[in-house]
Structure 1
Amino acid sequence: MKHFLTLILTLSVVALFAQPANRIVANPEYSKNIISKHIYGHFSEHLGHCIYGGYFVDEGSTIPNTRRIRTDIVDALKKIKIPNLRWPGGCFADEYHWNDGIGLRSERPKMVNTNWGGVTEDNSFGTHEFLDLCEMLGTEPYICGNVGSGTVAEMSKWVEYLNFDGVSPMADLRKKNGHDKPWKVRFWGVGNENWGCGGSMTAEFYADQYRRYATYARNYGDAKLMKIAGGANSGDYHWTETLMKNVPLNMMWGISLHYYTIPKTWASKGSATAFGEDEYFSAMKSCLHMEELVSRHSAVMDQYDPEKRVALAVDEWGIWTDVEPGTNPGFLFQQNSLRDALIAASTLNIFNNHSDRVRMSNLAQTVNVLQALILTDKEKMLLTPTYHIYDLYQVHQEATLIPLVLRTKDYVLGNDKLPALNASASRDKDGNIHISVVNIDPTNAQDLQIDIAGTQALKASAQILTSEKYTDHNTFEKPNALKPAPFAGTKKSGESISLKVPAKSVVMITLAK
């Protein structure tokens, strides 16, 4: 018997080492979680040229627009089916008073944007303009209310203005301002970063404030609010636990989490396009830390909510670098390289794989700010590499997650290492399977075998986003330098797919009927 067990153990070890070094194993029969489309949400704050000079053009502009909302931006975002848009902030939300942004534009009071550049805002883009934009995009509005400098009554009246279909002071005012029927806004943030720019509160104090504000943010008719509590900064697990412990679960649809990928340090973040491999590696390490954050915040939430009724909404994330030389440091304008596309793809893979708890996320930010999808310069517009990731990944929206087991080689630099590959997979309503694979190793291609049960009759095709250098990016002179292309490197045999994933690339594999 002893010799027999030794033989079995030896054969098992031999079999293990005979397998490919990089391998994905998945079985669609174990699928159950839906990847919420709201994981693919976005964020537009009154910051720099995101709104003014981005979505919203000057009165009388020759740039094609509808009611001052820029047409080419709307068309680009509709193409990738953005599911929701968060507004007006961010830090701006907790100094914004919504009634200053309604009525005749000529009569709206001006304000100073103290958080972002100290510029004077004329409030010409307010509630009606934002919801007009959302209707053009075919997306759901996600409005963040003012807890830091606002009042309970102010927030309560804003909800009534938006959602009440009847006779009341706020509904009558909405009708007077030109919108007869309510918008029925669902997603509602009760404050933003209340541990910092939203009031410098403790977790315990904010939990009490949340209950007050949320109580008076009423449901009207069938417009049931999905209230999102202002959650933790990065790894502040105490904040999450305090909210879960002190706020009744039926008062929250979700709790937010904010985390930014920082290539170097907060004081000196590094360039968006001029960096070496040390900085590239540290950025990828910072990005992949999201896996630990989501896992640990989810574990805290599981203690109080094992049925996962409350969503984790990562409603600010992305890479944050130094601003482009010569631009206003308060406007947070940065370029967008292949590195940023790899960060976006890797992060979305993490969210997909945690879709049992993560049911919303919002990339910061949509136009001209931080990890933007779109950059503009007067009449010019370009789509960034990050935009193309959202284009490739839209197939995961509302698809069923296919859990997978991934074994990967490491990407090694000096004495440190990271997993070279990351991935997620889903099956859409038509039965097609999509596998998104990222190779963060900037030098080495990775041979990969993928085994997915029950896919004998499906045909494989793929697209790829990559470039010669990880610093490569699109410019207004060369706006299409980086964009997805067909990838002919996949070979399918039965239920197995083999491919060589090129260095620093994102590959989207489709198995279609």
Structure 2
Amino acid sequence: MKKQLLALVAALMVGAGAQAADIKVVVNADQPGPVIHRNIYGQFAEHLGTGIYEGMWVGPESKIPNVRGWRKDVVAALKDLHVPLVRWPGGCFADEYHWREGIGPRAQRPVKVNTTWGGVAENNAVGTHEFFDLAEQLGAETYVNGNLGTGSPQEMAEWLEYMTADGNSTLAQLRRKNGHAKPFRVHYFAVGNESWGCGGNMRPEYYVDLYRQAATFLKTPQNNRPVFIASGGHDARTDWTETLAKGLKGVPFDAISHHGYTLPTGKWETKGAAVGFGEDQWISTLAHTQTIDAWVRKNTAVLDQHDPKKRVGFYFDEWGSWYDPEPGSNPGFLVQRNTLRDALLAALHFHVFHANAERVKMTNVAQMVNVLQAMILTSKDKLALTPTYHAFKLYVPFQDATSLPASIENNPVYLVGKTEMPSLSVTAGRAKDGKLYVGLVNANATQAAELALQVGANAAKAVKGQLLTAGAMDAQNELGKPAQVVPVPFEAQAVGGKLTLKLPAKSIVVVAVEG
């Protein structure tokens, strides 16, 4: 399969008509910027469809190989991504989740109706202990979303005590009785989710009052204090950021949550197909990352006015593609195909988040397994790694890297109909291993690009890394079939003092610079 892909790449480079070689990428390695926090590559697992049950959790009695109920193959694949953080239990589900129903013997836990997602039974098999076990298996930090919608300050405060107390309180003893002697490490805790919508349809002023009340009682041992996150706005809205920045002074408040999804049509009623789309919806999807960038910049500018020391983080903790549901599936399960388009969409999001790393220190793609823009697809004992998974893996070196300014001279315009965007996008950083990495995306679906890479005033001597592309815009990796979208080696050497990179159409390249 890899030989076939290499042949395909060569054909794409030759056959697509490479653009003029006067395109230049310049990386200023002597001007370090903010650190690209590893949690920009955070993940999100919600009680939604088969995102957790069946997708990751099969139970200890399952014939599918597992560790204490969590699928071995899924955990292994996620560990290869160096997943830094997992957000749980929602999403919209968080504001109808009551934590006491998810502790104790599983056979005795109540069965509820998941009224948010599909109206199916929720047996609470995955609760607090199971979630922290998953995070421990992954080596990931934890982000717990509290229930403000149908819960109370008391319920959230008691959950935090149950998770973090190290003394002999009744709740600490209950945690021990349920099998965990030491406190759990809670890294992040959010007060509600999408309080402007599914979390209560609140006005920002009303939410501020509720947050202030709840936060007053959210107490933990000092050595286990989480980052406290307020539910913020979505899309282009800045009113929530403005109101929260003004109204939450004097109470525990460390970051604002913001959400924004990409719909090819821009319409929630008919979002667009996940496969079989035309180039018009290819570009409309990828060009939307320019809008995402504008949303981030508008909101962080508001924060700059009220928080010039940049103490408050801006967390884009739900993002990704959202298409019409897979035909024949439960529409409440948000099942959709994942294609090469999603891989490029992910990479372009990374570039946006890197460029705003001074404030954006956490983001969470929606979601991890089987839901929306998933990393992994499963069915019974089968597993497939999506193109988005491979995009995440290519960018692992950027976790905790120091960002470096990078620019593109003579960047061609990619135009389809009335929609346009730059053909090429670049990001650069100095990784923890000391190497300089460059990430490049050629968004143009039909035209290859040829560019010179320069580090400071000099051409780089060589690059080595990986390339992700495929023949079709909607190429995908399906369960039980050979993968169509997998990375292949990519390298280039300087000739005559000039290092030229040839990027196929619709491709991602991540390379380490040598010399």
Would you say same fold, with TM above 0.5?
yes
Look up the equivalent residue of 1:46 and give its one-letter code.
H
Deviation sequence 1:4-54 (CA, Å, 0-9, x none): xxxxxxxxxxxxxxx965322221111031110000000000000011111
Report if the CA contact (8 A) 1:452-1:495 is conserved.
Answer: no
Change (3 A) 1:494 1:364: farther
Deviation sequence 1:66-99 (CA, Å, 0-9, x none): 1111000000001110000000000000000000
Look up the equivalent residue of 1:351 and give its one-letter code.
F
Residue of structure 1 aligned with 2:304, choices 281, 302, 307: 302
Aligned-pair CA distance for 1:492: 2.7
Look up the equivalent residue of 2:304 and give its one-letter code.
D
Alignment of 1:133-152 (within 5 A): 133-152=134-153
Partner of 1:281: helix, strand, or coil? helix
Take 2:499 and 2:210, find their aligned partners in 1: how far apart are those partners?
A: 53
Alignment of 1:167-316 (within 5 A): 167-248=168-249, 251-264=252-265, 265-316=267-318
Name the counterpart of 1:63: 64
Select between 100-109 and 399-408 the one with higher mean Cα deviation: 399-408
Name the counterpart of 2:426: 423
Name the counterpart of 1:164: 165
Report if the CA contact (8 A) 1:218-1:225 is conserved.
Answer: no
Take 1:298 and 1:492, find their aligned partners in 2: how far apart are those partners?
A: 40
Partner of 1:30: helix, strand, or coil? coil
Report if the CA contact (8 A) 2:394-2:510 is conserved.
Answer: yes
Change (3 A) 1:160 1:344: same
Deviation sequence 1:388-411 (CA, Å, 0-9, x none): 011100000011000122231110
Alignment of 1:444-463 (within 5 A): 444-453=447-456, 459-463=462-466
Aligned-pair CA distance for 1:479: 4.3
Report if the CA contact (8 A) 1:431-1:512 is conserved.
Answer: no
Aligned-pair CA distance for 1:224: 1.5
Aligned-pair CA distance for 1:250: 6.5
Bigger RCO (CA 8 Å, 6+ sep): 2
Take 1:496 and 1:244, find their aligned partners in 2: how far apart are those partners?
A: 49
Aligned-pair CA distance for 1:111: 0.9
Take 1:162 and 1:417, find their aligned partners in 2: how far apart are those partners?
A: 49
Report if the CA contact (8 A) 2:233-2:240 is conserved.
Answer: yes
Partner of 1:251: helix, strand, or coil? coil
Residue of structure 1 aligned with 2:414, choices 407, 411, 425: 411
Q: How many residues align?
A: 494
Give 5+ residue unaligned stretches, structure 2. 1-19
Partner of 1:222: helix, strand, or coil? helix
Report if the CA contact (8 A) 1:117-1:330 is conserved.
Answer: yes
Could you say what the CA RMSD is over the residues aligned between the two structures, in angstroms? 1.7
Take 2:326 and 2:156, find their aligned partners in 1: how far apart are those partners?
A: 37
Partner of 1:483: helix, strand, or coil? coil
Report if the CA contact (8 A) 1:456-1:494 is conserved.
Answer: no
Take 1:344 and 1:41, find their aligned partners in 2: how far apart are those partners?
A: 12
Report if the CA contact (8 A) 1:382-1:479 is conserved.
Answer: no
| Sequence identity percentage | 46
Alignment of 1:114-153 (within 5 A): 114-153=115-154
Report if the CA contact (8 A) 1:31-1:402 is conserved.
Answer: yes
Alignment of 1:424-503 (within 5 A): 424-453=427-456, 459-488=462-491, 490-492=492-494, 497-503=499-505
Take 2:248 and 2:239, find their aligned partners in 1: how far apart are those partners?
A: 14
Take 1:416 and 1:471, find their aligned partners in 2: how far apart are those partners?
A: 19
Name the counterpart of 2:4: none
Q: Does 1:101 align with 2:102?
A: yes
TM-score, normalising length: structure 1: 0.93
Change (3 A) 1:144 1:494: farther
Change (3 A) 1:173 1:137: same
Name the counterpart of 1:13: none
Take 1:209 and 1:184, find their aligned partners in 2: how far apart are those partners?
A: 25
Name the counterpart of 1:393: 395
